Each structure stands twice: as C-alpha cells, then as structure tokens.
Amino acid sequence: MKISVHGLCFRYGSTDVVSEVDLEAGEGEIIGILGPNGSGKTTLLKCLNRSLSPRTGTVLIDDRDYRTMTRREIATRMGTVPQSANINFPFTALDIVMMGRLPELKRFESETENDLQIVRDAMAVTNTQQFADRPMDQLSGGERQRVIIARALAQRPRVLLLDEPTLHLDVNHQLDILDMITSLARADKLIVMIVTHDLALAARYCDQVVLMQKGKVLAAGEVTEVLTPVNLRRVFGIEATVYYDERIGSHSVAIIRSVRDDL
C-alpha cells in the first residue's frame, strides 16, 4: 500500500487553502503534518479522505486515482479519526465501534458474527473492551478517543488519518495513544498520517514530517531535515532545536523562546 499526492489544491470560494501539495507515504510509515492554525492541515486531511473534493491535483492509492473509487471503497481503505467527535445519543462504546463496519454492509444488511469479531478485535487492540457496554458520555476524554480510534480500525483500513488525536488530553493519555498508534503502524504495516500542533510529539513518533505554511508545503522529509531552527523560526516564530534523546530513543524538541517580535 502507498499513497501519492501530486499538485493537490483546494479552494474555499476564491481563497486557496491548500496549494500544490505533493507527498508520498508507504506502509508502516507515520507521517506528521505540522503547521500553525490556518496552514491547511485539516483541509489537506479532508481532501485525502474525499470529505472535500480538491480543485486540482491527484491522489493515488496504490497507483489508482481515488476519484475512480466510490466513497465506500475509500472508507474500506482509509479510517479517519476527527479532531472532535460529537456523540449526541446514548450510544455505548460497542455501538460506536460497530459503526466502523457500516462501509462493508449493504443497504439494510445486518452485522454478522464476523463483523462482531472484527469489532471485538479493534476494541482489544485499543484496550476499550472493558467498557464496551458503557455509554460514551460516561467515558473520560482518553477513553472516548480510544473508542473513536477503535471505530476507525473496525473499518480494517490500510491508511489511518488522525486529526489532532491528542488534543485536550492529559500528557499520560497522549503518550498512551501515540504508543498504541505506533504499535499498530508497525505491526499491521498501516500508513498513518497525523495532523498535530505538538512539535515534541511529532519529533518523537513520526518517521517523516510535512511542514505547512499558508496552505503550502514548506518542507517535507525526516524530522531533522524539516524541523530545523530556520524553519521553526519562520513558521512558528520560535527559537528551538531538535536533538536525539537517548532516554526515549527518539528525537525531541527544545523550545528556547519566542522570536515573534523579532520577525
């Protein structure tokens, strides 16, 4: 499995929100999409799963143009974890995860025992099976987030798109969720794309990063190639450095000060 994006553009009205984006991702890779508010990160993710239709450009899934695929076909290949999931009905965690099987079901078709087993497997992987029968509004933020990830996994996707999956979570829950996502990517050879503001988490968990500014890709590649002092100053208005931290066996970011007033 691979994804190739070439010249992707999206416009709201007369305003280009995403312009000429190129990127590639292969199985087992975790790609971080970084940038300040308004840089086009979430819009790019919505273009990738066809929630939005790009104005120009192509998205290829295993060399097949995704415009030739039905939304059902895309849903069986891509699972999406949105930035916020408003659950306004008293659904249980099991009900929510079972919704991930809907793309596989024909109209008026009921879930099978196989569907239930897939849901159980997704809940086991995300450690959510212990509150399968609890209403979503009785779960903590971290628990709810794991349920939403389980719902995406129940689609049995080859690509997992996550929009700020650790937003508003305590630090321990942030690490738990990203550790889990990393394990899934490695074990199941998933392509994972994560939109995030958190430079430290991106440096720690991502194999490649895409740095966006004003709808365009400023830089893409390995962490140390992209998160340079020059780029961090230009995009985020901070003085910072990326270094390898032997304690965690990965990269980290040291933010020194704001330089916004110096720009």
pLDDT tens per residue across span 124-164: 999 999 999 999 988 988 898 899 999 999 999 999 999 99
CA 131 to CA 128: how far, in whole Å?
6
Per-residue pLDDT of 162-198, as tens digits, reads: 999 988 788 988 999 999 999 999 999 999 999 998 9
SS3 83: coil
Residue type, 113: E
pLDDT of res. 108 = 63
Q: What is the DSSP letter of 68?
A: G
Within 10 angstroms of residue 95's Cβ, the number of other Cβ atoms is 18
CA distances (Å), origin 2, targets 21, 77, 177: 16, 11, 24
Q: Pick from 218, 158, 162: which is nearest to 42 by CA?
A: 162
Residues 6+ positions from 166 with CB-CB distance below 8 Å: 145, 173, 174, 177, 178, 196, 198, 201
CA 167 to CA 171: how far, in whole Å?
10
| Contact between 99 and 122 (Cβ < 8 Å) | no
Q: pTM for this one? A: 0.91
- DSSP secondary structure string, 102-143? GGGSPTTPPP-HHHHHHHHHHHHHTT-GGGTTSBGGGS-HHH
pLDDT of res. 247 = 94
Delimiting residues of CATH 3.40.50.300 domain(s) in the chain: 1-77+157-220
Number of residues that make up the chain: 263
CA 199 to CA 255: how far, in whole Å?
9
CATH architecture of residue range(s) 1-77+157-220 = 3-Layer(aba) Sandwich (3.40)
